[in-house]
Chain A
Amino acid sequence: EAGVTQFPSHSVIEKGQTVTLRCDPISGHDNLYWYRRVMGKEIKFLLHFVKESKQDESGMPNNRFLAERTGGTYSTLKVQPAELEDSGVYFCASSQDLGHSTIYFGEGSWLTVV
């Protein structure tokens, strides 16, 4: 069974450009999460989808970030326009149901804004 996959694994863009990160959760997982880790700091929650609906987006930093999950399968996280402080690792995760079921993480998308 495939795990959570993320694309691209690494991305270097200039300030002001747009980047779109993609996440494919484990098949059958209704819950999809995005997290971000800025270098040396904690892994911070961004948002949570249940199927195609945003359950909780309290962690989204500002309106330059847009997450979608059309059809309740894969998800995209777009940053437009990118700023220097957006650099970090963006993790996607998925779980089968709510509660304390195990959350499976992808390998992360490393974003560097120069």
Chain B
Amino acid sequence: AQSVTQLDSQVPVFEEAPVELRCNYSSSVSVYLFWYVQYPNQGLQLLLKYLSGSTLVESINGFEAEFNKSQTSFHLRKPSVHISDTAEYFCAVSALSGGSYIPTFGRGTSLIVHP
């Protein structure tokens, strides 16, 4: 079974500052990694994912995450945040189990961007 740890429940930052949301996972098999975002009053949306290949993956709105196998991490970063990035971010891992891939989620990190 796999698990996900998001150590920070809340991350407050000022607009235009860089941010890193941490995610560590544990799994005994190869995994796929995801970051989902939930904006206020909306559902979960896929932000980016790592399946294979380059360990650095990017989203269309400037976020990036790097898969680090040795450290079992998939931290999410953005060099300069906007007010509109205020949302809750969920890291998820999926691995083959019982013939299917079911994502396991972390507790979420609430990113609060201040003007």
Contacts and interface: CB of A to CB of B under 8 A. Distances in A.
B36 A48 contact: no
Contacts of B44: 43, 91, 93, 105
Interface stretch (A12-20, A66-74, A78-86, A94-102): A94-102
A42 B4 contact: yes
Contacts of B45: 105
Q: How large is the interface on B (under 10, 10 to 19, 20 to 34, 35 or more residues)?
A: 20 to 34
14 contacts: A4-B43, A31-B100, A42-B106, A43-B90, A43-B105, A48-B100, A55-B98, A56-B102, A98-B100, A98-B101, A100-B32, A102-B46, A105-B43, A107-B42
The 7 closest A-B pairs by CB, nearest first: A107-B43, A105-B44, A43-B105, A42-B107, A105-B43, A100-B32, A98-B100
Interface of B: 4, 9, 32, 36, 41-46, 49, 51, 90, 94, 98-108
